[in-house]
Amino acid sequence: MKRAATLGIAALLACNVELIEPESVAGDPPRHYLDPTPQIPSRTDETDPTTVWAAAVRRNLAFLTDDALGGRHPGTEGAALTTSAIVSLFSDAGLIPSAPTLGWTTPIGIRAVQVVDPRLAVSIPAAPAELPTGEAPPPQPAGDAERIEISDGLWLHHRGAAGTFHLPMEVVELAPQADLTDRLALGVVPVLEGELIEPEVRIRGIFDAVSHRRPAGCVLELPGVEATELRAAALAWSEPEIQARSLDAEPPPGLAVEGFVSGEAYAALQRASRVTGSTADISFKVEERWFEDSNVVGRIPGRSNPEQVVIVTANWDAGGLERAEGEQGNAQAASGLAVLLAVVERMSRLRNSGRVPARSIVFIAAAGGSLGNLGLEQLAREGLALSENIVAVVHLSDLDWTAPNLTVIGGNRSTVGSRVQALMPLAELTDHEPGFGHLAFDLPRVPRVSLTRRNGSAPEVIDPSIPLTALANTARITFDLVWDLSDAPDVPEVIIPRVDPPPEAQPDPTPPEDDAAL
């Protein structure tokens, strides 16, 4: 049934392919694609190439948002059907299988783990009464201990196996000389001015660093409201943690419990850490979900330098861990892949007419994009090519067809940005921003950008009456950019941001006082 549906969708697409003459690319004068104003033109010309590109991206969006794909949620039957259909489209376009596993697809295992119903009970022994010097204090009855129970204001992780846990621990302050073995370490996240590290990465680094001192767990105080991004990352700590793991792999290493507590809970734990014999009992339940999806990788071999590659990527999934049944796949999330497939179609036509670029082009439809670009990160680790042979990485993401301008994320970090502006002078260039797929390829000296359109008002589904002019222009620009990167005699370069040295200290203009005059 699944295969029949895949073939049916692929056949539908094939029936709608418009045959056009291959465009001249190399040697033509540069073409400038200005964003249309207004977005909906007063008329459309059947011979306008924009109309051809708009028909291609609309056809691809209709395919990706079809009910048969079930919303393209990771780990669903619709996800498997999506990758099967993309394989068919890549194959029909004449691409060759190029996944690291030497096939069309490479699997990516995904584990989602979450702590639910956490509870904290703090026990602080009563202070002994003052006694005459030299007299030993009598043992304190257990009933004299102060007990504080907290069920709100806890944002915790447990990276190990699922189950129900009860962890009694002695409380100790997190300090360089403190013995943390089998104890609950208590501390804070330092808030630094001008911090460039992503909050999630910095927090993960703190817990990993503490784990080497073998505590049973570590909890930090929830950052204050003035540390906006850091606080948001801490509040998200109790949400499902998404891990890229093969289905037979062990969970990643981590503490038995790690996370954040409210100011009230932190104050109680801080008091406990100052009284010998104080304990903290933490109980919680861990729920997990395992599933597997696939990246799809195809290649157009280069004419004269096939070892050099231009990598073009987009994510195919949508919706994250949500499991709504029967809903259409988010059209905004599908826009990047719709443009990628349109570029593949046009490249196929040029290839069939004998036009082949000098360098190879690798097209990637990646899994796990709505969970954090997991598929791209795995492919980057597995290595699609030697880093010195990667000419550029171009990622397509969230191309809002009502947004006024194209934005090139990372465009200020390489000359790829200037190449985009040569095609579209109004394109906005920015530095790297967290969350975009080009950053998955963390390779030195490799130009990387993400193309996106944002701040528009496009709905989640496609209105057949609205012309997709902006999205068509994006597909056209992407095609010319990729062809230029793969066929031009020169290659783009990385731009290293200039860091000005701190200003030298100026001498004090006030002359020193004469000691003799004092």
Domain boundaries, the chain: 2-20+28-107+293-487, 111-127+144-290
Spell out the CATH class of 2-20+28-107+293-487: alpha beta
Give Cβ neighbours of residue 345 (< 8 Å, ≥ 6 apart). Answer: 17, 56, 93
Amino acid 134: pLDDT:
56
Q: What is the mean pLDDT of each run of 10 residues along the chain (518 residues)?
A: 52 44 43 43 54 91 90 91 96 95 92 94 77 54 77 93 92 87 91 71 90 92 89 92 84 90 94 90 94 96 96 94 60 93 94 92 96 93 91 96 92 96 94 92 93 85 82 94 96 80 60 47
Please state whether beta strands 257-261 and 241-244 pair in parallel, antiparallel, or not at all (unpaired).
unpaired
pTM reported for the whole predicted model? 0.80
Amino acid 135: pLDDT:
58
Amino acid 374: pLDDT:
94
Which 3 state secondary structure label does DSSP give 437? helix
With vertex at residue 226, the alpha carbon angle to CA 222 and CA 230, rounded to the nearest 5 degrees, is 50
Which 3 state secondary structure label does DSSP give 246? coil
| Calpha distance 344→339 (Å, rounded) | 9
| Calpha distance 219→240 (Å, rounded) | 18
| Calpha distance 385→173 (Å, rounded) | 47
Amino acid 43: pLDDT:
43
Amino acid 466: pLDDT:
82
Burial (CB count within 10 angstroms: exposed 0-12, middle 13-18, buried 19+), residue 280: buried
| CATH for the 111-127+144-290 domain, from 3.30.60, 3.50.30, 1.10.3470, 3.20.20 | 3.50.30
